[in-house]
Amino acid sequence: MEGKEVGSLELNDAVFGVEVNEHLVHMAVLQQLANNRQGTQKAKTRSEVRGGGRKPWRQKGTGHARQGSTRAPQWTHGGVVFAPVPRDYSFKLNKKEKRAALKSALTSRVNESKFIVVDELKLDSIKTKNFVQVLNNLKVEKALVVLNDMDTNVIKSASNVPTVKTAQTNELNVFDVLKYDTVVVTKDAVKTIEEVYA
C-alpha cells in the first residue's frame, strides 16, 4: 500500500455514472436519521402531573389572580403544554428509491474525484499506526473504507481512528457515503457493488 497509481479501472455507468437525483438522496438521508431516532421522549401534561386537584384559593376576594389548579403550566411543578409523547419517527422508502439514492451518492463521489479504488487492503497485524500510514499514503483523512469481506485486522486497526469508518458492501448506505469526505473501496468490493446494483 504505497498510495501510488498502478492502473485504471473502468467503472460501470449503471452504478457510478447515473444522473444524480438530489431529492432521492435527501430523502434517503432523512429516512436513515429518522429511523435511528429512539422516539422515547416523554413529558407530563397538567392532567398527568401528581396533585393539583383542588382549587388553590377561592375565585374572588383574595386579590390574587384566579387559579384553578396548582399544576397549570404557569405554575412551578406544573404540567408541560403540548408535552411530547413517545412516537415512531420512521418512514418507508421503496427499495428502488433506496437503490437509486445510493447510486446517486456513489456517482457524486466519483464526479467529485473523492472515490478511490485500491487493489487490496491488507494488514499483517492489528496496528492503528499501520492503518493511518495507509491513509497518509492515499492522502486521505476522513474516509469511508468499503471492504468486500470482513478483514479483522483492517477493521480493528481502523476502529481507533475517529475520522474513519469501515463497512462491508452489504452495509453500504447513502448517509455514510456522504458523511465522509472520501470513499476508499477495494477492487473486489467495486465488483460486488456492480453485481448487486447494476
Residues 86-116 pLDDT 10s? 999 999 999 999 999 999 999 999 999 999 9
- Give the sheet arrangement for strand 182-186, strand by strand: 115-118, 182-186, 143-147, 164-168
Residues 4-37 pLDDT 10s? 556 678 898 999 999 999 999 999 999 999 999 9
Q: Is the pLDDT of residue 132 over 60?
A: yes
In whole angstroms, give the CA distance from residue 149 to residue 83.
47
Q: Which domains does the chain have, with CATH numbers?
A: 13-21+92-197 (3.40.1370.10)
Closest CA to 149 of 175, 118, 119, 171: 171
Q: Is the pLDDT of residue 1 over 60?
A: no
3-state secondary structure of 32: helix
Q: State the average pLDDT for the chain.
A: 92
The mean pLDDT of 132-150, rounded to a whole number, is: 91
% of the chain at pLDDT higher than 90: 84
Cell of 106: 456513489
Cell of 185: 473501496
pLDDT of residue 7: 65
Question: Considering the entire predicted model, what is its pTM?
Answer: 0.82
